[in-house]
C-alpha cells in the first residue's frame, strides 16, 4: 500500500520508472509479411518520450494454426528478430521498458480466415458465427511449444518480458471458459483443468527462457457473458491461483469479450470498471496485479495505488489520443485524459485516434464503427 504513480519500482520482475503502463494495443500497422513498420516505431517512441513506465505491445502472432489479420506483427520465425530488436532498442534508448504480448486469435476472427480455425471445442463463436475445429491433444502440445519458441525470439529481440494474452475471448481465454471449453481430457472440464494450457505455456516459457525471464498474463476477471454464462470471477480466482502457484510474474486484470454484456473497452460512462475484482484478487494471490479498463484520471490512479495492493495501472485508449499523457500528469497538468472512449481507434488501417482523422478516412471509419461499436 501507500504507493505513488511516479516512483520507480520493480513489478513482475521488471524495473520500471513509474507505475503507469500502456496496455496491449493492436497497432494494425504491420508491414506485409508481419514486420515492424515505421508507424509502429514512431508510436512507441512517442509513448516512451511521453514517460509511459512500460509498454505492452499489441498482440503478436506466431502459431502456424492461427489466423491473424494482415496487419498483425508476426513473431513466428527467427527472421522477425532483427526488426523487433530495433523496436526494443528504440524504447530502451528512451529509458522505457517493453513487454511483448503473445496471442492466438482462436475462433474470434473479425476478418477473413487464412486457414482452418481451431478452438478448445467446436462451440460456435458468438462474435462471427464460426464453428471452429477442436484442437487435438497433439495440437495443444504444439501450441505450447510455439508459445515457447515465440518467447525465445522475444527474449533474443530484447523484450523485457512477455505477456500471454489470456483475455477478451482469444484462444487462451476460450480455454478458461466453461462455455467454450467442453473438453473432457486434461485440458478441460473443471476450472483447474481449464487453466492447464495457460500453466503449461508459462512453464514452457520459463523452461526455455530461464526462470528469471518475466512472464506475465492478461486475463479476464469475468467474460461478463450474457445471462451470466461462461467464465466468471470464481473461475478467474481458480485460474489466477494456479498461475500464482506456477510462478507467473504479474497478472493484468481485464474483463469482457466482444460478445458479452460488456466489452473490454467500455464507454466513458464506466470508470475503473475492473477495480473491485482486482482488489479482491490482490487478497488471494502474491503475484503483482495490474489493473486496466476505464482509468482516465490521475487522482483515481493515486487513490488506487495509495489505498490498495494493486501494483500498477495500465491504459490503452487514453494513450492513443495523448501519447504524452503520463508526462503531462507528471509535469503538473493534472486534467483528465482527453480520450472520450468512443472506440474510434479500432481501425484496421492503423490504430489512431478517431479525432485525428479527416475527410474520407474519417467517413470510412465512422461507417465501420456504426456497424459495431456505435450500434449498441
Tally Cβ neighbours within 10 Å of residue 18. 21
Q: Which stretch binds ligand FMN (CB under 6 A): 32-40, 149-157, 230-238, 312-320?
A: 312-320
Q: Comparing C-alpha atoms, which of 287, 279, 270, 286 is closest to residue 343?
A: 270
d(CA 290, CA 22): 11
The answer to whether 315 contacts ligand FMN (rule: CB under 6 A) is: yes
The answer to whether 5 contacts ligand FMN (rule: CB under 6 A) is: no
148: left (phi over 0), alpha (psi -120 to 50) or beta: alpha
Please work out, in degrees rounded to the nearest 5, the angle formed at the alpha carbon of residue 252 by the alpha carbons of 246 and 254: 125
Q: Which stretch binds ligand FMN (CB under 6 A): 62-70, 190-198, 229-237, 286-294?
A: 286-294
The answer to whether 345 contacts ligand FMN (rule: CB under 6 A) is: yes
- Nearer of residues 187 and 258 to ligand FMN, judged by Cβ: 258
What x-and-dash track marks residues 28-67 binding ligand FMN by CB under 6 A? Answer: ------------------------------xx--------
Spatial contact of 182 and 236, defined as CB atoms under 8 Å apart: no
Q: Which stretch binds ligand FMN (CB under 6 A): 105-113, 174-182, 226-234, 311-319?
A: 311-319
Local structure of 132: helix, strand or coil: coil
Q: Interaction with ligand FMN in 218-237: which residues (CB under 6 A)?
A: 218
Q: Interaction with ligand FMN in 104-163: which residues (CB under 6 A)?
A: none
The answer to whether 26 contacts ligand FMN (rule: CB under 6 A) is: yes
Tally Cβ neighbours within 10 Å of residue 111. 14
- Contacting ligand FMN (CB under 6 A), which of 54, 73, 351, 352? 351
DSSP track, 50-112: TT-SEEEEEEEE--TT----TTS-B-SSGGGHHHHHHHHHHHHHTT--EEEEEE--TT--SS-
- Nearer of residues 150 and 315 to ligand FMN, judged by Cβ: 315
- Contacting ligand FMN (CB under 6 A), which of 14, 219, 265, 291? 265
Which residues of this protein are in contact with ligand FMN, per CB under 6 A? 23-26, 58-59, 101, 165, 167-168, 218, 254, 264-265, 292-295, 315-318, 345-346, 351
Amino acid at each position: 500500500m501507500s504507493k505513488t504513480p511516479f516512483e520507480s519500482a520493480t513489478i513482475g520482475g521488471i524495473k520500471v520508472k513509474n507505475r503507469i503502463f500502456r496496455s496491449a494495443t493492436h497497432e494494425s500497422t504491420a508491414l506485409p509479411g508481419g514486420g515492424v513498420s515505421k508507424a509502429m516505431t514512431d508510436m512507441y517512441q512517442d509513448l516512451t518520450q511521453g514517460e509511459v513506465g512500460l509498454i505492452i505491445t499489441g498482440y503478436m502472432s506466431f502459431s502456424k494454426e492461427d489466423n491473424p489479420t494482415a496487419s498483425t506483427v508476426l513473431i513466428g520465425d527467427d527472421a522477425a528478430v532483427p526488426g523487433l530488436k530495433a523496436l526494443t532498442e528504440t524504447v530502451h534508448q528512451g529509458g522505457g521498458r517493453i513487454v511483448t504480448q503473445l496471442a492466438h486469435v482462436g475462433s474470434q476472427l473479425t476478418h477473413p480466415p487464412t486457414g482452418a480455425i481451431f478452438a478448445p471445442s467446436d462451440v460456435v463463436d458468438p462474435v462471427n458465427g464460426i464453428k471452429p475445429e477442436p484442437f487435438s491433444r497433439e495440437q495443444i502440445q504444439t501450441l505450447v511449444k510455439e508459445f515457447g519458441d515465440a518467447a525465445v525470439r522475444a527474449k533474443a529481440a530484447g523484450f523485457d518480458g512477455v505477456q500471454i494474452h489470456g483475455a477478451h475471448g482469444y484462444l487462451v481465454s476460450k480455454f478458461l471458459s466453461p462455455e467454450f471449453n467442453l473438453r473432457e481430457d486434461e485440458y478441460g472440464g473443471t476450472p483447474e483443468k481449464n487453466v492447464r494450457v495457460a500453466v503449461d505455456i508459462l512453464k514452457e516459457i520459463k523452461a526455455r527462457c530461464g526462470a528469471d525471464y518475466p512472464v506475465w498474463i492478461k486475463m479476464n476477471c469475468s467474460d461478463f457473458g450474457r445471462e451470466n454464462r461462461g467464465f466468471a470471477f470464481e473461475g478467474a480466482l481458480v485460474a489466477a491461483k494456479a498461475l500464482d502457484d506456477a510462478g507467473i510474474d504479474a497478472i493484468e486484470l481485464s474483463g469482457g469479450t466482444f460478445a458479452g454484456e460488456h466489452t473490454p473497452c467500455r464507454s466513458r460512462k464506466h470508470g475503473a470498471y475492473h477495480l473491485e475484482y482486482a482488489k479482491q484478487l490482490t487478497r488471494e494471490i502474491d503475484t503483482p496485479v495490474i489493473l486496466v479498463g476505464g482509468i482516465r484520471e490521475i487522482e483515481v490512479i493515486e487513490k488506487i495505488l495509495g489505498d490498495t495492493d494493486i501494483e500498477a495501472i495500465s491504459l490503452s485508449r487514453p494513450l492513443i489520443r495523448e501519447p504524452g499523457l503520463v508526462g503531462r500528469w507528471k509535469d503538473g497538468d493534472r486534467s483528465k485524459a482527453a480520450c472520450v472512449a468512443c472506440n474510434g481507434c479500432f481501425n484496421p488501417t492503423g490504430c489512431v485516434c478517431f479525432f485525428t482523422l479527416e475527410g474520407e478516412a474519417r467517413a470510412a471509419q465512422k461507417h465501420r464503427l456504426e456497424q459495431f461499436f456505435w450500434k449498441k
